[in-house]
Amino acid sequence: MKTNVNLWWVLGVFFLLITVVYTGWNIIEHSQVPWYNAIEWVGSTALLFTVFMSAMIAFYVDRVHKAQGGELPEDVLTSDIDDGDPELGEFSPWSWWPLVLAFSAALAIVGLAVGTFLLPIGVAVFVVAIVGWVYEYYRGYFAR
Q: What local confidence, expressed as pLDDT, does residue 142 receive?
A: 65
DSSP for the chain, written as a single string = -HHHHHHHHHHHHHHHHHHHHHHHHHHHHTTTS-HHHHS-HHHHHHHHHHHHHHHHHHHHHHHHHHHTTS--GGG-TT--GGGS-S------TT--HHHHHHHHHHHHHHHHHT-TTHHHHHHHHHHHHHHHHHTTTSSGGG--
Q: What local confidence, expressed as pLDDT, does residue 46 receive?
A: 96
Q: What local confidence, expressed as pLDDT, does residue 79 receive?
A: 81
Q: What local confidence, expressed as pLDDT, does residue 36 receive?
A: 73
pTM: 0.55
Q: What local confidence, expressed as pLDDT, does residue 2 receive?
A: 67
Q: What local confidence, expressed as pLDDT, does residue 143 receive?
A: 67
Ordered mean pLDDT values, 10 residues apiece, the chain (144 residues): 82 96 91 81 95 95 86 79 74 84 94 90 94 83 66
Q: What local confidence, expressed as pLDDT, does residue 1 receive?
A: 60
Q: What local confidence, expressed as pLDDT, does residue 128 receive?
A: 95
Q: What local confidence, expressed as pLDDT, does residue 30 receive?
A: 85
